[in-house]
Amino acid sequence: MNISMNPNSELNQSIVNVPNLVQVPDPLIKQAYQFQEAMMMYTCAIRELKTKLEVLNDELSVRNSRNPIELVKSRVKKPISIVEKLQRRGLSISLESMTENLDDVAGIRVICSFLDDIYAVAEMLTRQDDVHIIAIKDYIRHPKANGYRSYHMIVEIPVFFSDQKKWMRVEVQIRTIAMDFWASLDHQLKYKKEMEANSEDISIELRECAEVIANTDERMLNIRKKIEAQEIALNK
Ligand code: GTP
Ligand code: MG
pLDDT at res. 26: 85
**What is the CATH class of 26-235?**
alpha beta
Q: How remote is the CA of residue 29 from the centroid of ligand 2, in Å?
A: 28
pLDDT at res. 52: 97
pLDDT at res. 185: 94
Query: ∠ at Cα 185 (182, 187), nearest 5°?
Result: 105
Name the burial class of residue 105, with classes exposed (0-12), middle (13-18) and buried (19+) by CB atoms within 10 angstroms of its CB: buried
Q: Where are the domains of the chain?
A: 26-235
pLDDT at res. 17: 61
What global pTM score does this model have?
A: 0.89
C-beta 144 within 6 A of ligand 1: yes
C-beta 125 within 6 A of ligand 1: no
- Non-local (6+) Cβ contacts of 49 within 8 A are 108, 155, 157, 170, 172
C-beta 183 within 6 A of ligand 1: yes
Q: How remote is the CA of residue 144 from the centroid of ligand 1, in Å?
A: 10
Active-site annotation holder among 10, 37, 70, 171: 171
- 171 in catalytic set: yes
pLDDT at res. 5: 44
Residue whose Cα lies nearest atom 12 of ligand 1: it is 137
pLDDT along the chain (236 residues), means of 10: 46 56 83 94 98 95 90 97 97 96 98 96 96 98 97 98 96 98 92 66 94 98 96 85
Distance set, CA 145 to CA 137, 148, 178, 192, 204 (Å) = 14, 7, 18, 19, 11
Name the burial class of residue 232, with classes exposed (0-12), middle (13-18) and buried (19+) by CB atoms within 10 angstroms of its CB: exposed
